[in-house]
Amino acid sequence: MQEVLAYKSPDILADVPTHFCPGCHHGIVHKMLASGLEEAGLAQKSICVAAIGCGAFIYNYVLVDTLEAPHGRAPAVATGVKRSSPDSLVLVYQGDGDLASIGLAEIMHAANRGEKITVVYVNNTVYG
C-alpha cells in the first residue's frame, strides 16, 4: 500500500517549538495564516506588522517580512508601510489587549479612512 500525504505544513511556517501557553490558539492562527498566504501565492509580497504582547512573536513562526510597532499602534505603522509599498499585502497581527484596548482608536481611524491593510485580530481572551 502506498503512503498518501494527509497534511503538509506550510513552507513559510517555521519548524520550531512554540513558546505559547497550553491552550493558546496563536499557533493555530499562525498555521491558518501561513496556509492562506501560501495557497494564495501572497507569501513573497506580504509584510506583517505586529505589536506588543504574544502577537509580537509572529516573526518567530511565520516566515514573512515582519516589523514591530509600539503597543496599539500597528494600524498606524501598517498605514505607513502600505503607502510606501502599495503593491505589498500589509498584514496587521494584534491580540485583544493590543487592538481592543490601547489600540482601539488606531484601528477605528484606519477603518474609517479605508486603509488597504488586512487586520488579523486574535481574541485569545487573555486581556479581559
Asked, for residue 76, whether it belongs to a domain, the answer is yes
Flag whether pLDDT at 118 surpasses 80. Answer: yes
Report the pLDDT averaged over residues 56-85.
96
Q: Which domain holds residue 117?
A: 43-122
Asked, for residue 99, whether it belongs to a domain, the answer is yes
> How many domains does the chain contain in total?
1
Asked, for residue 32, whether it belongs to a domain, the answer is no
Asked, for residue 16, whether it belongs to a domain, the answer is no
Asked, for residue 11, whether it belongs to a domain, the answer is no
Q: With the CA atoms of 61, 66, 69 and 71 taken in that order, what torsion angle do they form, in degrees rounded to the nearest 10?
A: -20
Report the pLDDT averaged over residues 104-121.
96
Ordered DSSP codes for 50-118: E-SSGGGGGGGTB-SEEEE-STT-HHHHHHHHHHHSTTSEEEEEEEHHIIIIITHHHHHHHHHHT---E
Asked, for residue 36, whether it belongs to a domain, the answer is no
Q: What is the pLDDT of residues 79-88, one digit of tens each?
A: 999 999 999 9
Q: What is the pLDDT of residues 9-24, one digit of tens each?
A: 999 999 999 888 888 8
Whichever domain contains 84, its CATH number is 3.40.50.970
Asked, for residue 112, whether it belongs to a domain, the answer is yes
Radius of gyration of the chain (CA): 15
